[in-house]
Amino acid sequence: MASGPVANGADPTVVVDDLHVVYRVYGAGGDKGTAATALMRVVKRQRRPSVREVHAVRGISFVINHGDAVGIIGRNGSGKSTLLQAIAGLLPPEQGCVYTSGQAALLGVNAALLDDLTGERNVVLGCLAMGMTPQETKDRYQSIVDFSGVGNFIDYPMRTYSTGMAQRLRFSIASAKNHEILMIDEALATGDANFRAKSHERIVQLRGEAGTVFLVAHNLAEIEASCNRVIWLEKGQIMRQGYDVPAIVDAYLEATGGEPRKRDKPAESEHSAAD
Amino acid sequence: MRERARDQGGPGTLTDDLAIPEVDPSALPDEPLAELAARYQLRPSAARPGVLAYAGQLWARRHFIVGFATARNVAMYTEARLGQLWQVLTPLLNAAVYYLIFGLILNTSRGVPNFLAFLITGIFVFNFTQRAFITTSRVMPDSLPLIRALPFPRGCLPIGYVLIELEQLVMSMLVLSVIVLGTREPLTWYWLLAIPALLMQAVFNVGMGLFLARLGAGADDFSQLMPFVVRTWMYASGVMFSIQTISSLRHHPTLTYLLQINPAAVYISLMRNAILQSQRNAWPGSKPYNAANCALYHAATKGPRLEFSAYCHGTVTMNGLWLWGIGWAIVALVVGFVFFWEAETRYGRG
């Protein structure tokens, strides 16, 4: 990557050192949920059973270099999204550490912005929250709206958007800024074909400008098309990882009982067996 | 070994060299990862900046905070048919309800001159702190999706919530000015003192808001309890009565003093003294001490007559009020800010 800001394209940008992430879930079952059972619990000094700790990431280490586009694959609940949130500094590590060369931006599937505000307000506030100045926000505003393709809906509250529209707007906002590290968590899954093509181009472009991209997707064709490196997570640990993307994807498919990929034409349904 | 790994790694691998190299370029290096990270000047992603750096970050996001508060305020009434009119109607209805109950039915005026203006000023000023306390104690759990989606200094959220309430208060103050002028209070230069009084209260609320936001981030029980705490506080702060005129307090000067220097009472008194001449003239110590007149205040048969209290020695002087107001604001801001900052990286955990 000669065009990168660093002369040697292989400087590390993300170092994950023996990372463990634990988060708490409230309102989990295990209780009749009446005032009487709650009182008994307090009297007996028991922990609330409705608070569960989820040990989602269990000791992961890797080094990602400048210019890498890393695909993260794994079954549902294997810790993919949690790993990205920890890299972005949104979830604190329980143990270990994540080192990054700059602030990582995360585009999540349920990255709710402010649902009761209009798309227009969300664009402005999103840009300001990312640290742009009001002038930069003004300058970028039109290109963000155009890229998202939500059209007239920009004046409507975001809760009236379809899932795909909301995701398109979020992607447009987050990709408006050049991030050193960009992480995309299934953010393109519900976009239509046209938007997918546009966003794929944008990812390639961001990868060129930015340096490092992480991509979580169940669509393995997308991983193979966009990524030069892949990490396969299983129950919060790395099962396999490396630059040999097709081999790891094949091994993943074999382990999860999916059909082997035919590389001549794009396949779509191979991941359904994994879920 | 690292050098070789770097040469063979990189994005070109996939197309240029499909064979897996002898040394896997994605393998972990031999040296400890922390040292590798330090060598390339990588920083921990969940690191907490220093206190001053954090204050700087918040300042850098000031446009976000203001935009967030304004947008929230506008969105608050979009589902109502009367829309933004509720910004004025809500304080008006509040005032009407309290006047009905405390002014007409319970008659707590007890010789307070211009009780209507006295009452409504107290309610509006207290309402600012009350709403700020209740909303900030819920802000972190309520904003968890936003916190887990975007990186920004988390202090923006409680500060933004206090700003929302401040914007509401400004609207209430306009309503209040009309009411106060309608009760024949004169418009004087003293009204300008309302501005520093409000600013001090806003700083106090920001500090307490930061403090409560961290407490509320841990356990939901706290935000459930908050409304009761605040309501008790309201009854202790002389919102709908004058602390001086409570007969049972007359022989407990220490208690009277403590009630008068509590932050809510301080900010309410400062506002009343700024915009209500009747209150300013009746504040104990505002006129030269006169034993005979002061005795009239205590000896009045039909309850105390507040206008004579001006001739008594004040428990808290007018200047004392300002000092207490500044003191509370600074203490709340410093303590709340540091307390909130300490947990900065942990708010995403829930």
**CATH code for position A86:** 3.40.50.300
- Mean pLDDT is lowest, of A34-38, A67-71, B207-211, for A34-38
- Mean pLDDT is lowest, of A262-271, B43-52, B53-62, for A262-271
Return the residue of A nearest to B350 by Cα. Answer: A24
Contact A99 B37 (CB under 8 A): yes
Give the whole-angstrom CA distance, residue A182 versus residue A226.
13
pLDDT at A274 over 70: no
Q: pLDDT band for A72, please (50, 70, 90 cuts).
A: very high
Q: Are A73 and A233 in contact (CB under 8 A)?
A: yes
> pLDDT of A6-43, one tens digit each?
334 478 889 999 999 987 776 655 556 677 777 777 77
Q: Are B143 and B84 in contact (CB under 8 A)?
A: no
User: For chain B, first and last CA: distance in Å?
Assistant: 42
Question: Which range is most confident: A18-22, A214-218, B205-209?
Answer: B205-209
Distance from CA of A112 to the nearest CA of B (A): 6
Asked if B29 is an interface residue toward chain A (Cβ–Cβ < 8 A), one would say yes
Residue A212 within any structural domain of the chain: yes
The DSSP symbol for A67 reads T
Of B42, B72, B345, the CB nearest to A12: B42
How far is residue B211 from each of residues B214, B338, B339, measured CA to CA in Å?
A: 6, 9, 6
Residue A76 within any structural domain of the chain: yes
Average of per-residue pLDDT values in chain B? 81
Residues 307-346, chain B: which have Cβ within 8 Å of A?
Answer: 345-346
In DSSP notation, B258-325 reads: HHHHSHHHHHHHHHHHHH-HHHHHHSTTSS---HHHHHHHHH-TTS--GGGGGGSPPSS-HHHHHHHH
| Residue B80 neighbours by CB under 8 Å, 6+ apart | B86
pLDDT of residue A9: 47
Distance from CA of A267 to the nearest CA of B (A): 20
**Under the phi-then-psi rule, with left for phi > 0, alpha for psi from -120 to 50, and beta for the rest, what region is A179?**
beta
pLDDT at B253 over 80: no
> pLDDT of B285-314, one tens digit each?
777 777 777 777 666 555 556 667 777 776
Q: What is the pTM of this model?
A: 0.81
Mean pLDDT of B64-82: 83
Handedness of CA A110, A114, A115, A121 (dihedral sign): negative
ipTM: 0.75
Phi, psi of A138 (to 5 degrees): -60, -45
SS3 A181: strand
Asked if B253 is an interface residue toward chain A (Cβ–Cβ < 8 A), one would say no
Q: Chains A, B: CB contacts under 8 A, how many?
A: 171
At residue A166's C-alpha, the angle toward residues A165 and A168, to 5°, is 65
Contact B348 A99 (CB under 8 A): no
pLDDT at A271 over 50: no
In DSSP notation, B17-75 reads: --SPPSS-TTSPPSS-HHHHHHHTT-EETTPPPPHHHHHHHHHHTHHHHHHHHHHHHHH
pLDDT of residue B200: 95
Q: Are A43 and A201 in contact (CB under 8 A)?
A: no
pLDDT of residue B198: 94
Number of domain units in chain A:
1
Contact A65 B6 (CB under 8 A): yes
Return the residue of B nearest to A134 by Cα. Answer: B63
Domain boundaries, chain B: 1-42, 52-349
Chain B interface test: which of A63, A121, A209 (most B C-beta within 10 Å) = A63
pLDDT of residue A5: 35
The residue behind tokens 């892949």 is A230
Distance from CA of B291 to the nearest CA of A (A): 58
pLDDT of residue A269: 43
Question: Residue A72 pairs with which residues in a beta bridge?
Answer: A216, A231
Q: Find the domain containing A76 and state its range.
A: 12-31+55-103+179-274
Residue A205 within any structural domain of the chain: yes
Higher-scoring residue by pLDDT: B90, B7: B90
Contact B67 A128 (CB under 8 A): yes
pLDDT of residue B245: 67
pLDDT of residue A264: 59
Mean pLDDT of B275-281: 83
Residue A199 within any structural domain of the chain: yes
